[in-house]
Structure 1
Amino acid sequence: MPRRAELFGGEDDRRFRNPTTGDERTVLAGVLAAQRATLEAKCAGLAAELAERSVPPSTLSLLGLVRHLADIERRWFRQVLANEDAPPRYSSTTTPDGDFDGATADPAVAAEAWAAWREEVAFAEAMTAAAPDLSVTGEDSWRGTVSLRWMLIHMIEEYARHNGHADLLRERIDGAVGV
């Protein structure tokens, strides 16, 4: 049996084709794109299983992660950086865990979550590409003034942490590792 480290990547894996040299925007955007692609890979080939919970009483699921990350992308890029009035899609003050609690095995729920996530990722990528530089700032009620540079680093960290959760969830669902 191969070691876990031998199960990752391969020449065809787009997660490992991001630039390792170049300007700061290119490298950061590439690393973030790889993290986003990892989330997709962890969820690939699953349907109702996306909503399977990790271990009671946790509500953590792969579908919950997709919904959560759609809200996170929306928060930082639309609300903070673009200063749009864009409330979260899944969470609110009355349902703060709506991203995870509402992640059900309904195929329509999964399809909507993926569409929302892809829409938010496309917005973030376009905003990142169009920004004059990484020093562009936005105002956040939690962190104060934040730059696009900080936001990209924060998003890489956010995805990396949740992709670790996704590794464990996927292995629990069907034994798949290295996806």
Structure 2
Amino acid sequence: MYAPARHDETTGLLHYIDQQLTAIRSALYGLTEEQARATPCRSALSVGGLIKHAAHCMRGAVQRLTTEVTTQPLDAAAVAEFTASFAIGDDETVAGTLAEFDDARTELLAVVSRTDPATESTAPPTPWNGIHDARPIHTRYYLVHLVEEFARHAGHADIIREQIDGAAVPALELTLAGAPANDFFTPYDAAPGTVLA
């Protein structure tokens, strides 16, 4: 949880991004490899797939924040890579995917910490949203979009996890943070050998 604080804008945005990434990551706690790949809802989303997709998004965000923004729409190869980022492949493991997530997270947070939200930037075309031209923005717009994007996927991960075994991500987060039991929270007891246990 990002506790109330009087932080500057960059620090606040960094903490909100990190809060959502913590939620996505915590959804894996106590799952088996099979459960992390499970798709218990009507979509093809899994907790492990969301970890992989978040890592993909973080790598893209680092590139976006550190290089010139392209004004061209995504090509077919980029669209295929994006689509594939939602599922752990047969040749991949949950542990490997989690390691990529952790590496991408460290890099993204370092870049965000050095980013001025008031910097002028450009939003590339997003034809899936009906926007076919590049638009001028401040970097703040993009950083807030990252909060939105990761929050959406944190919600997906929470719902999927609850469908698997009834565990709610906020309780998993508190358990991983070492919070003691209280009137509102009972720590989760992960089975040995499961993810993050």
Where on the TM-score scale, by shorter chain, does this alignment land: which range?
0.7 to 0.9
Structure 2 counterpart of 1:53? 39
Equivalent pair of 2:2/2:15 in contact (CA under 8 Å) = no
Task: Pick the aligned partner of 2:47 from 59, 62, 66.
Answer: 62
| Alpha-carbon distance in structure 2 between the residues aligned to 1:47 and 1:147 | 42
Structure 1 counterpart of 2:194? none
Equivalent pair of 1:137/1:147 in contact (CA under 8 Å) = yes
Structure 2 counterpart of 1:159? 150
| Alpha-carbon distance in structure 2 between the residues aligned to 1:97 and 1:111 | 21
| Alpha-carbon distance in structure 1 between the residues aligned to 2:12 and 2:94 | 31
| Alpha-carbon distance in structure 2 between the residues aligned to 1:149 and 1:26 | 12
Percent identity between the two aligned chains: 27
| Alpha-carbon distance in structure 1 between the residues aligned to 2:105 and 2:135 | 23
Q: 1:158 to 1:96 in 2, by over 3 A?
A: closer
Equivalent pair of 1:140/1:146 in contact (CA under 8 Å) = yes
Q: C-alpha offsets along residues 16-44 of structure 1, whole Å, 9 cap, x if unaligned?
A: 43x43221111111111111111122211
Give unpaired runs (5+ residues) of structure 2: 69-76, 126-133, 173-197
Q: C-alpha offsets along residues 44-102 of structure 1, whole Å, 9 cap, x if unaligned?
A: 1213111001335x211011111111111111221x22128xxxxxx84445521224x
Which residue identity does 1:98 align to in structure 2? A
| Alpha-carbon distance in structure 2 between the residues aligned to 1:34 and 1:164 | 12
Structure 1 counterpart of 2:98? 114
Matched, 1:82 2:73: no
| Alpha-carbon distance in structure 2 between the residues aligned to 1:39 and 1:162 | 7
| Alpha-carbon distance in structure 2 between the residues aligned to 1:135 and 1:16 | 23
Q: C-alpha offsets along residues 124-176 of structure 1, whole Å, 9 cap, x if unaligned?
A: 11112223x22235544325444432222111111111111111100111111
Equivalent pair of 2:11/2:113 in contact (CA under 8 Å) = no
Matched, 1:123 2:114: no
Structure 2 counterpart of 1:135? 118
- When normalised by structure 1's length, the TM-score is 0.73
Equivalent pair of 1:32/1:156 in contact (CA under 8 Å) = yes
Structure 2 counterpart of 1:9? none
Equivalent pair of 2:62/2:107 in contact (CA under 8 Å) = yes
After superposition, the CA RMSD in angstroms is: 2.6
Bigger Rg, structure 1 or 2: 2
Q: With CA pairs under 8 Å and 6+ residues apart, which has the higher RCO, 1 or 2?
A: 2
- When normalised by structure 2's length, the TM-score is 0.67
